[in-house]
Amino acid sequence: MGYKKYAYPKTVIMKVFSEFLRKIRSEHHLSQEGLRALLNEKSHSFDSLDTISISRWERGINTPSLTKQSEIAEVFGVDLFNIYSSDADFVEESLYAIQFSAGEKNDKVTHPYYNNEQYQIEFIHSEHVKFEQFLKLCLVYEGNPRLLPTHQEKISAALLTSLTLVSALCNFSQLVGHCLFCKVNTKALFEFMNNSIGILDLLASTQQHQANVLVVFSSFGVSPQIDNHMMSVYLNQLATDKTIEYLSFSTCDSKLKQKLMQMKIPMFKVKPIEQNAKIIQNYSFIMSRSEVMANRNMLMLSVIPTRDMQPTTTGI
């Protein structure tokens, strides 16, 4: 079975936003001039906005950037996830796009133990019989010495419950992808980024303070589809949890760093870590919820609930 032909993503985005704008203006009994005045009052980004532009947006002739779309949505108490996740065409487009790496089409995977077979996604909770085994494999891949205490030291089971470990398995047991993340508060995160506290203190902070940051420690897949699938897991968690205000990455994986930079996510900090007489670079990224939703790649991945993904070798 071949791939279904899809509309160019920008066309879908224009359609979705034009429908939202017409609907929200009608619900709030605003004329186009009234909407222009409201946006002008709320943000300097709309100082030069006129009713002609609004009319063109509503007719789907053109559309504002996702950054401006996010600002408009926030004025009415919603975010872009709410708008785009409810549109079947956009979700279908996103399901199609998940198969591809950033600039390549229909990648063929060359891997010693994976040949585009079906795979399953499993949340490995801390009480899972194979949690320690999968956590160790994840840490070995990531190579971040700052994460090793989660496996090497005897720590309370309560701390480990703060970690979310998701694995992609083929042939029921072969690990072909994973992601490791947790939800923390901004103060503890910045202390961790600056090496003021370690990973165990960071995990302990989740029991003391309200979490508002989702921080990713590792994210990997042996194929572009699985790699994107892993990223969609935590992006969907962020999108559906309205208490999360920021997304952060703390990784030593140069491939993940490269992917994030290809997605135009600015790096926050690079910190050298010494291990066994070698220097390892720890890369940190942080972005607001609005910035995540205004990034087209991340928005497309966030709208796909994990349960709805049906990986195949011929396409979605």
Distance CA 16, CA 86 (A): 9
Average pLDDT of the segment spanning 261-289: 91
pLDDT at 151 over 70: no
Domain that holds residue 243: 108-308
**Mean of the per-residue pLDDT values of the chain:** 85
Domain presence at residue 131: yes
pLDDT 10s digits, 34-49: 999 999 999 999 999 9
Average pLDDT of the segment spanning 64-89: 93
Average pLDDT of the segment spanning 291-297: 93
Query: 134 and 53, same structural domain?
Result: no
CATH number assigned to the domain comprising residue 31: 1.10.260
pLDDT 10s digits, 185-239: 999 999 999 889 999 899 988 877 789 999 999 999 988 888 999 999 999 999 9
Domain presence at residue 97: no
Q: How many separate domains does the chain show?
A: 2
Domain presence at residue 85: no
Question: Token match 């509503």: residue?
Answer: 58
pLDDT at 102 over 80: no
Query: 177 and 283, same structural domain?
Result: yes
Predicted TM-score (pTM) of the model is 0.87
pLDDT at 154: 62
Band of residue 298 on the pLDDT scale cut at 50, 70, 90: very high
